[in-house]
Amino acid sequence: MTKTILIKVGTNVLTTTEGKLDLNLIKSLVDQISELKNNGHKVVLVTSGAVGAGLELNKFSSVKNKVIRKQMLAAVGQNYLMQIYSKYFETHDIVIAQALLSRSDFSIRKKYLNMKNTITALMDQGVVPVINENDVVSTEELSFSDNDILASYTAALIKADKLIILTVVDGLYDKDPSDKTAKTIDRVTKIDEKTFGMCGKSKSSLGLGGMKSKISAANVATELGIEMIIANGKTQNLKNIVQGAFKGTTFTPENNKKKSIYSWLLAGSAISGYLTIDNGAKKAILNNKSLLIVGIEKVEGNFKKGDTVEVCNKKGEKIAVGIVNLSSEILVKNLSQPKESLKNQKEVIHCDNLKVL
């Protein structure tokens, strides 16, 4: 059965203990992806390693600004990294396409749909999209916290069947892996505070993510019906991982049904405003009802029809996100009227465009 598989490979998987690119491992990774494609699967690769690759070409040690230095390393390293991937994929007659994405690409609905259509079309033509964050033009040091989160967002974008995160540990441990009694967990069916408590404090030396970021990625993926796997990219084979014969941790979604608008609401959209609702409206949306204007107590932010807002309870706690049918200006104007006159108003957020968190 054909599956759409997103593979994310971390910096420490791609590099040697000396911090240089491990060309043998990259070749092996490409060989494994090629085998998946030969078996009929569609594959997207989210790769880290641009900064590490840049260090091999020029350390820019005289640049004192850490943000600028990182962006410079990414700029020269990304090109070098893509050359290596291209060379190895060419031996399998596979064309790759580079896509450098930023957080804003997922935040604007039009951009989001354009990305989805382009990446999907590339896969349909047998191309392997190779994705990394566009650090060079980021206005912040990291618009994504790391590529684990980028991978989960992209998996949501393409409605992947599996998200495989390759790292240098064997999976999620039941306690901090520095503890010699720690054991790997084969399967996680529910992500909660206890799950995050198992992550420890580790972060990779060249990469940015630790286990906590991977659990955050799993939280997004499983919410959207996508199975996520953490496995050791140094020791495990992708074919075995896809077939389920591997050592690692599988995060199982409660519902395998892929979600479209929810994917964007949860994993893509920028928040333009906030709505505080009363207890009656809270009860309604928790029962899969639309949000009506009569249940809104406070409007914050400047948003227009079609923007995404957070919905909060009276305590200020976020309980949902949704796409509004009315602008903030119209909402504020209507809320100045007596509540009795609002009962026949159309919904502010239709239940199909509302995601309870």
120-124 contact pairs (CB < 8 A, 24+):
120/158, 122/97, 123/4, 123/42, 123/43, 123/44, 123/158, 124/42
Give me the number of domains the chain comprises: 2
Burial letters 152-168, b for 16+ CB under 10 A, else e: bbbbbbbbbbbbbbbbe
Structure tokens at 136: 């060079």
Residues of the chain with pLDDT under 70: 138-143, 145, 200-209, 339-345
Does 347 lie in the same domain as 208? no
Q: Whole domain around residue 351: which residue ranges?
A: 271-356
**Domain termination residue (choose one: 237, 263, 289):** 263
**Which class for 226: exposed (0-12), middle (13-18), buried (19 or more C-beta within 10 A)?**
buried
| Dihedral, CA of residue 215, residue 104, residue 141 and residue 164, to nearest 10 | 30
- DSSP 8-state code for residue 270: P
* Residue pair 215/152 in contact by the 8 Å Cβ criterion: no
- Which amino acid would we find at residue 220? V
Does 311 lie in the same domain as 276? yes
User: What pLDDT is stored for residue 207 in this prediction?
Assistant: 46
Does 203 lie in the same domain as 171? yes
Parallel, antiparallel, or unpaired: how do β-strands 308-312 and 318-323 relate?
A: antiparallel
Does 276 lie in the same domain as 141? no
Does 295 lie in the same domain as 209? no
CATH code (residue 347): 2.30.130.10
| CA 329/CA 352 separation, integer angstroms | 23
End-to-end C-alpha distance for the chain, whole angstroms? 32
Does 169 lie in the same domain as 87? yes
Question: What are the two backbone dihedrals, phi and then psi, of residue 296, each rounded to the nearest 5 degrees?
Answer: -95, 130
Q: How many CA atoms lie within 13 A of 318 on its CB side?
A: 12
Does 148 lie in the same domain as 210? yes
| CA 313/CA 42 separation, integer angstroms | 42
**Domain termination residue (choose one: 231, 263, 295):** 263
- Which amino acid would we find at residue 337? Q
**Domain termination residue (choose one: 263, 296, 314):** 263
Does 201 lie in the same domain as 70? yes
Does 59 lie in the same domain as 173? yes
| CA 223/CA 266 separation, integer angstroms | 9
Does 237 lie in the same domain as 172? yes
CATH code (residue 237): 3.40.1160.10
* Residue pair 293/344 in contact by the 8 Å Cβ criterion: no
Does 253 lie in the same domain as 291? no
Does 195 lie in the same domain as 304? no
Structure tokens at 132: 């990394």
